[in-house]
Amino acid sequence: MSRLLGQFSGRWRSLLPGLAVLLLLVPTFSGSATPTPPLASFATASAGTPQAGTVPTSPSILSGVPHSSSIDLAWSAPISQGSSFVSSYTVAWSLANGTGGSRRLGNVTNTTVGKLAFNTSYTFTVAAWNAVGESPLSIPWVISTGFVPAAPSNLSVLPGNNSLTVQWAAPAIASVYPVTGYLLNLTPKNGVPILVPNASSPWLFTGLTDGQVYIVTVRAQNEVGWSPTAPRIEATPVGPPFAPRNFAAVYNGTTGNLELSWVPPTQDGGTALEGYTLTWWTPSGVVGDAYLDASKLNYSLKAVAHGVEYEIALAAVNPFGESPGAHVAVQVPSLSAPASPASVWTNGYVVIAFFTGILMGTFVLLFLRPRKPAEDEASETYPEVAHDRDAADPPSAPG
């Protein structure tokens, strides 16, 4: 039999040169021996065990935005999806006591987890799924629900010269999330708002207009959002007033005074005027000053010297200072030359009057003489006053 098989094998090799040799194992029987395994079993054993598929790597949580009873969660896809594509994710959350929940999602990378306890911390994890199974969990991310801050407290404004200093305190009610910044708003009435993000208390506004009304508000921010606005305050920068307007000085020839007049300043500096300061001087130096009530809009400067130029300054005053001075210069006219003496004859009297001007008054010199008898008057001359009479009405030469 062996010889027969060998001959057959040789002929087979000669008939199919270049082809693979097919080895046929023919079972042989030797007494009661057990037959060899069937062909199918051999084939299975020779193929070996197939390799198992792989799950994705872990996703990574990127952010969590808190709300009062929910969290907006976002994550990144796994670096490796494993042996098949990622098809879904599981988001799980738990409290410190171990209670919590989970949610199976589709192939998305963000979700909002709601119905959470108010102002409470949660630990979140995310896992990815493919056809083989679930990935390892992401690194845990601790996030708290919370609330926006309360409004800032104790808002106050201190006026200054062309400035306002704004102060406030942190919200009186604390949140799980601390305040991360303040938004300060300064709005002139009928003007453009001035917004200051990330402002800190105190905050100084400069370059403002004295007397202009400004509205001040402030809000606080944390990770949850913006607080309500603190009750607004209206404030006005204050400083020295502007100078008085239309300042004028006129010499009054009847009274001999300098009559001063003016109009109040266009800006009082943000607060009511208290009065005016008046100063006058001549080329020889300061002559005098006066403080006038705020209701005064005129003043008589008396006892001025004739033929002298006066320079006068007027400033408005409020509690924060004095305005620049309004200036005026005026020349007081000189007196006219005295008139010649005039003699007036009366019955028994000679009156000589010297008129030296209205301002200096009138000086009258009276020369009294005893009355002469009537018969003597016609022939008597008065040589002691002839010269004075000549100035007015010279007498005829004696006969």
Report yes or no: 288 and 214 within 8 Å, Cβ to Cβ.
no
Stretch among 32-41, 144-153, 279-288, 300-309 having the lowest mean pLDDT: 32-41
Average pLDDT over residues 158-181: 90
How crowded is residue 327: how many other Cβ atoms within 10 Å of its Cβ? 12
Given a contact cutoff of 8 angstroms between Cβ atoms, the answer to whether 230 and 150 are in contact is no
> For residue range 244-298, what is the model confidence (pLDDT) as tens digits?
999 999 999 899 899 999 999 998 888 889 999 999 999 988 889 999 999 999 9
pLDDT-derived band at 176, boundaries 50, 70, 90: confident
What is the average pLDDT score of the chain? 79
- Alpha-carbon distance 341 to 363, whole Å? 11
pLDDT per residue as tens digits for the range 58-107: 999 999 988 888 999 999 999 999 999 999 999 999 998 989 999 999 99
Burial class (CB in 10 A: 0-12, 13-18, 19+), 376: exposed
Confidence label for 303 from pLDDT (cuts 50, 70 and 90): confident
29, HSE (Cβ side, Cα atoms, 13 Å)? 2
Domain 153-235 has CATH 2.60.40.10: yes
Average pLDDT over residues 296-316: 93
- Rounded CA separation 364/70 (Å): 110
Distance CA 215, CA 236 (A): 9
Give the Cβ contact number of residue 345 at 10 Å.
13
Position 23 scores a pLDDT of: 39
- CATH 3.40.50.2000 corresponds to the domain 245-331: no
Extract the tokens encoding 64.
């969590």
378 or 212, greater pLDDT: 212
Alpha-carbon torsion, ordered 6, 8, 12, 13, to 10 deg: 20
Pairing verdict, β 71-76 and 60-66: antiparallel
CA distance 330 to 332: 6
Structural domain boundaries in the chain: 2-47, 153-235, 245-331, 342-390
Task: Tell which residue, 360, 346, 311, has the closest CA to residue 332.
Answer: 311
